[in-house]
Amino acid sequence: MCLKGCLDLSPPKVTHRRNTEALRTNLGEDWKRTVKKKLIILSGPSGVGKTPLLKALHASYPEIGMQSPVLYISRAPRPGERDGVDFHFRSEQEIRTLPQERFLVGKGRVVWQAVDMEEVRGMLATASLVAVEIFPTLGRLLLSHPVVREHAGEFEPRTVFLSPLDQEELEGLARRFGNRQEAVAAVMLPKLVGRSLQQGKLLTLAEWDDLRARAMKAFEEMELGRDYTDVIVNHDGEDSVHWRFTPPLGDAGRALRRFVEIIKE
């Protein structure tokens, strides 16, 4: 029986500040005057940690002031997600019929996504850093979109891929599992299951099929990520407790610090 005064295992809000404070000192409050404007495409397999990475950036480096468009997506909200804040949650039919003169629409993994290019246009006019978390094929289309070509002349495009494995790890696992796709799926499936359980979901047959499909798509996304300007290896998936710290611990923290370095380069 645990009495009052037992060890509190809940993570503190502030910890291991040394590396983070060093980066923040280098950035400085005047970073916008010294760092080139950037348009960042952030991609990676489902569950690899893209969303917590962006949230950790906001929490640990609020001075950076990154802006991101709210994407449209054809899945149900996850626990804690808010319509119009995290995503615009719409049906597949609604997304596929959005007007093409305004929206960039396409399928990524097992869901459809859309980007309001008018929202992107507004951000390019007012922000110094714009980041779009998006499936790789749609990221390429976004960078070649007329709105970006016309209004992002002052921005340096950077494509950042968050990878669950480095190449040596991938080859080693491929020898064990017989092929690369199954090897990456074996790494990603537990992360996806862990995320679902943290969100309080029941692992129904439909949920399991969705998670399995996402895991099997991971290697395909890693192949697309080979052409990205920057690859960040992160072993702490979205389900990792390391993201609960500010700044994050472990690989999550290293991924965040590398992301900040890319921003300030």
| Cβ(70)–Cβ(190) below 8 Å | no
pLDDT exceeds 80 at position 14: no
Give pLDDT tens digits for 161-211. Answer: 999 999 999 999 999 999 999 999 999 999 999 999 988 888 899 999 999
For residue 173, how far is the Cα from the chain centroid?
24
Within 13 A of 152's CA, how many CA atoms are on the CB side?
22
For residue 36, the model assigns a pLDDT of 84
What type of residue sits at position 265?
E
Q: What is the pTM of this model?
A: 0.86
pLDDT exceeds 70 at position 1: no
For residue 201, the model assigns a pLDDT of 85
Q: State the Cα–Cα distance between residues 45 and 220, nearest whole angstrom.
A: 9
For residue 50, the model assigns a pLDDT of 96
Please calculate the CA angle 50-131-82 and round it to the nearest 5 degrees: 65
pLDDT exceeds 70 at position 34: no
pLDDT band at 7 (very low <50, low <70, confident <90, very high): very low
| Cβ(108)–Cβ(137) below 8 Å | yes
pLDDT exceeds 80 at position 35: no
Decide the pairing of beta strands 72-73 and 111-116.
antiparallel
Q: State the Cα–Cα distance between residues 213 and 75, nearest whole angstrom.
A: 14
Give pLDDT tens digits for 158-173. Answer: 999 999 999 999 999 9
pLDDT exceeds 90 at position 262: yes
List, in order of start, the domains of the chain with CATH numbers.
43-264 (3.40.50)
